[in-house]
Each structure stands twice: as C-alpha cells, then as structure tokens.
Structure 1
Amino acid sequence: MAERKPIESWLTDMDGVLIHEGTPIPGADAFIKRLRESGKPFLVLTNNSIYTPRDLQARLSRMGLDVPVDNIWTSALATAKFLDDQRPGGTAYVIGEAGLTTALHDIGYVLTDHEPDYVVLGETRTYSFEAMTKAVRLINGGARFICTNPDETGPSTEGPLPATGAVAALITKATGKKPYFAGKPNPLMMRTGLNAIGAHSETSAMIGDRMDTDVLAGLEAGMQTFLVLTGLTTVEDTEQFPYRPTRTVDSIADLVDLV
C-alpha cells in the first residue's frame, strides 16, 4: 500500500461524532480546540438540512463547542451549490425547513409551486401528505427530483424517525423517478466542502459514525477515513460492508493527538 500523506485538513460528521442527542461527546471540545489552535482547515458536516450554519453554530456553542459558521457544511448547502452550478437562477418547489430554503434563497433561487425546474426534498419534522402529493404531481409534470440526503431514518429522544430517504422512496414509488441525492455518501458533498476550505482530498481525513454515509463518502472522495463507535455503528456492523475505514477508534477523543 502506498504511504499516506500527512493529514493537513479534517472533515467530521456532527451527530454521533461531536454530539449525541443534544450533549457533547467527551473529547469533542478538545478536538475542536486543537483544530482551531493548529490553524488547519476543517469542516463540521451534517446531512441534516433543517438548520442553517448559523443555527448550528449557536447550537454547538451552547454545548461548549466553538465552531465558526464558515466551518459548518450541510447537505442543504451542498444541494444549493449543485443547483447553482447546474441551473443558475432557477426555480424550485421545496419540502424542508429554514436550512434548505435559506440556502436556496442565497443562490438566487425562486421558490414556487408553479412549473418549477426542480422539486427539492429535505429534512423536516412536519412532512405533510399535501406537500408530498404536490411534489408527485410536479415531478410527473416534468420537474426534476433532487433530495438533500438519502438517510432513511434520523435520531430522536423517542427513537428513530422517518427521514428524507424514506419520504423520497414514497415519492419515487408514486412517480417512477429516482432523486439525485446531493448529501453524503455522494462524494460531491465532500469535494464541494473541501473546495470551500481550500483543502485537497489526498491530505484530508473524514471522521464519521456511519459506514454507509461518512466512511463511504470519504473513501470515494479519496480521503483517509476514521470510524468512531459513539454513534450508530458497532465493530460487528463494519463486517457487513465490502469496504473498510482507514482506522476504527472508540471516540473522537482518540484522534485529538493526530491533529
């Protein structure tokens, strides 16, 4: 195996790596502090499109994690960047929250249900049958189907919730049209994130708690990958996948000395 280059920039997932159900994971504060002191480029990534980076910055700050707004990259931002590259100044019918609608407004998109260029599906805790029906009709009428992320379930204090991928499957079943997913594991989200901080995949690492999104996205983007066991994945789970992380560790605390 070719010798790996030193890690000069870091990308890390948020839920399951830095925080878990609203509380910081031990070692997360030390890791972020070490990153900021090192001056190395870094991004905190999330497939959740509900919140804006400013919302997330405030949320993390309340937990003692000092992450600047410019160091937060969401699937909503990745989706907006993709649409801005594909069809600048376009129109979209959006199912989602402020994180997604704000990202699309910021690139000059008009949000409409009248012959939109795209139907964009994101995360929300209030999926409505009326909105899904409208999405189905617009896609059948010619709108292109875009989805922020493929996660089928999301965490809550009461247990798993249906997430964007599950709702996308419903719309696909009704239309016969599969969406384009902009978020992890699409390496596009990683590459646009790396470009945003001026980093290169050969000298970057991705930290995550999921094999099917975080590790796969990092692998396909050409980065080193670190799997932490503080989220959804166990050591036994990793054996089900045909690919491996570069390294598996108990938690983010085990990576502080690598920064």
Structure 2
Amino acid sequence: MSHKKEVPAVEVSELSADGSTRDLASQFANRLNTQTGSSGPHVSHSDNIGEAPENASVSVKKEWALLRDPVIHTERLDAIRSKKGYIIDMDGVIYHGATLLPGAKELVEFLQTNNKKFLFLTNNSAPTPRELQSKLERLGINVGEEHFFTSGQATAYFLKSQSPDGGTVYVIGEPGLAYSLYDMGFFMNDHNPDYVVLGESQTYNFEKLTKAVQLVQNGAKLIATHLDTENLDSVGNKIPATGAFTACVELVTNTKAFFCGKPSALIMRYAQRVLGLSRLETCIIGDRMDTDIVAGITSEIDPVLVLSGVTSMDMLQQYAYRPYLILGGVYEIPDEDERHLVTDQELEDASRRVSDQKKKSLY
C-alpha cells in the first residue's frame, strides 16, 4: 500500500518525447497542475516552484537555500553524487502508481554506470522483492531483486537478532512478510506463538484482531512492520493502515508494539548492512519528511528530499528538522562527471572498514 495520492494517468511514452530530462519534469508538472502549497503530489523542476516569501523566517530561508542557492545547492548535490551508496524510497520518488517519474530511469543508469550500490526501500511489507522488481521492470527499469528491501524484511532481521534459533509467529499480513519471516527461521503458529506480527494487509477483520489481542495477552510479543496509521485507496480516500490496527491491539492489551520500518533508524541500519557501507558513504532519497527524512536524520545518513511526492516547500515549516538537500526530483542527480565513478577496490575497502568496525564494537 502507499501513502501517496493518485495522480492523473500520464503515459511513459508521452514523457519520453524530445527535450531534456529537466524539460520533461516541467512538462510533467504542468500536466499534473502542481503548484507550491497544493495538497496533491508535487512533481516539478525547482524553477517552477516559486520563491521564499519576503517576510520568511531565517529558518525558512535556509530551507529554500537548500533548493535554490546556487552555491549551497551545487555543493551539496555534488556531495550526494559522490556517495557510494543510495537508499531510495519508491512511490513519489521513482513512480506514482503505474507512472514512471522523470529522471527515474536515468538515475538508475547513473548508479549502474558509476558502480554505486543502491537499495529501493519501502515501508510496504506486502510485496516480495521479486514482485517489486517485476513492477519496475514493467515501468522500464531493470534491476535485480537484491536491490529491494522492505519493512517485512527488516522485521525478519530484527526477530532473528532477538531469537537467533528462530521461533513461531502469528502473522496478519501478505506473502511478502510471511516469506521474509520464514526465510529467517520463523514458522506460523496461531496457538502459542513467540510473536504477533502485524503488517500491510487487506484481510484485517474482527476475528483476526481478537486473535492477536488474546495471543498478546497470553505472552506473545507484539511487533509491527511500521506504525503508519493511514493509506489512500485508488481514488484518494483514506483507509486504515498497519499502525491503526496495531494501536487497536496496543489499547486493548495495554502493551506497546515494537516497529521496524521507517522512521525507525533500525531499518536504515539493516539497509546499510546490506549495502556494506558506512553511514557517511550513504544517503537516503525520499519524498516524506515524517518517514524518509527523519529516518535519515536519526540514523545520521544524509537525507535528500524530492518534491515529486507528497511534500511541498511550505510544509517544511511544520518540522523541527530539515533535509541535507532539496531537489525538484531525482532527475537532478544524474550527470556524466567521471569523478563520481566508484571503483571495485573502493567498494572492497569500504566493506572491509565496515566489517572491521563491527568486529571492534563486539569487544
């Protein structure tokens, strides 16, 4: 499921007309009638976004500088291009529904050409990495399933760290979550499980929630893949999400669930482990301040906000933190500068440093 609003259908072929990627982004924004401050998705070149109000506070002006100041923006964008690893949100960054966003394909080509490591990270625990791979393939982006990481996988990693020998779980969720748990040695049990695990699903009902409540009351530990309380359906109406159902079980049982997805720094640490890179060598690219950006900040990974999803510039004043860089979309990242090429030796050295650091932390 996704937190993003549906947008008017725009064929990918229409976005592949003559003109630069930046022109395509502007055309796409115009097609969606996006403007700063509107409640819908924002897909726009920074030139189309407007300016900071004249009477804006110092804090607001600093946020606009991350988007517009030629020195700050260029310097930080170059630093992001020089990273060895990228953790990338999907909906609102790479696509909207079944529509590929401008620059998404070019971003992946940039990462592959420059030997970067990257993961597409999602709070949606329902799909398997292979299903996510198939979706991107249908949109024209071909990457291996090893480049995808879900909150379901993060949950399985966490349970494995708590119970190295495996265990039993009662799961309300889709196959992607169940497969991840099974791969880590956890088996389904609806009588006396070690854990009750709640994830994305359209099959929540009174009977299943009652079962979850009773099992938690009997001693099972309550785990949620994430605590987002709402999603949007295909026509933009709000529907309850994992966090809402988790709150129900918490309230009845007087317990608190442990969650593993964004904005938890835990999922970021797991993603780093998959990449084999340090936090300083990694960045996260997302469109949500309350999940993607805060996850980067709490894990000390440089967060990049793109305005191609649900966040607009005027929304930033709601938050006490700001991203490292603000972009109109991922189309701003790709370039042809050979300085951003990462050699195999550099990746090996980086992986070895991370491994050595992990060993030191054990002593």
Q: Percent identity?
A: 43
Larger helix proportion of the pair: 2
- What TM-score comes out, normalization by structure 1 length? 0.95
| Pairs within 5 Å for 1:48-67 | 48-67=124-143
Alpha-carbon distance in structure 2 between the residues aligned to 1:253 and 1:158: 27
Equivalent in 36, 40, 45 of residue 112 of structure 2: 36
* The structure with more radius of gyration: 2
Partner in structure 1 of residue 176 of structure 2: 99
Larger strand proportion of the pair: 1
Letter in 1 for 2:273: N
- What TM-score comes out, normalization by structure 2 length? 0.68
Q: Answer yes or no: is the 8 Å Cα contact 1:21–1:157 preserved in 2.
A: no
Letter in 2 for 1:154: N
Alpha-carbon distance in structure 1 between the residues aligned to 2:263 and 2:314: 21
Alpha-carbon distance in structure 1 between the residues aligned to 2:194 and 2:255: 15
Alpha-carbon distance in structure 2 between the residues aligned to 1:200 and 1:161: 37
Do residues 225 (structure 1) and 303 (structure 2) align?
yes
Alpha-carbon distance in structure 1 between the residues aligned to 2:201 and 2:143: 24
Return the offset for 1:96: 0.1
Return the offset for 1:126: 2.2
Return the offset for 1:222: 1.1
Q: Write the deviation string for residues 19-77 of structure 1: whole angstroms up to 9, x where unpaired.
A: 11221111111101111111111100000000000111011110112221111010000
Alpha-carbon distance in structure 1 between the residues aligned to 2:232 and 2:311: 13
Letter in 2 for 1:185: P
Stretches of 4+ aligned residues off by more than 6 angstroms? none
Alpha-carbon distance in structure 2 between the residues aligned to 1:25 and 1:125: 27
Return the offset for 1:155: 3.4
Partner in structure 2 of residue 186 of structure 1: 264
Return the offset for 1:218: 0.9
Q: Answer yes or no: is the 8 Å Cα contact 1:215–1:226 preserved in 2.
A: yes
Task: Give unpaired runs (5+ residues) of structure 1.
Answer: none
**Helix, strand or coil at the partner of 2:169:** strand
Alpha-carbon distance in structure 2 between the residues aligned to 1:199 and 1:42: 10
Alpha-carbon distance in structure 2 between the residues aligned to 1:10 and 1:27: 15
Count residues in correspondence: 257
CA RMSD, Structure 1 to Structure 2 (Å) = 1.5
Do residues 131 (structure 1) and 176 (structure 2) align?
no
Letter in 2 for 1:255: I
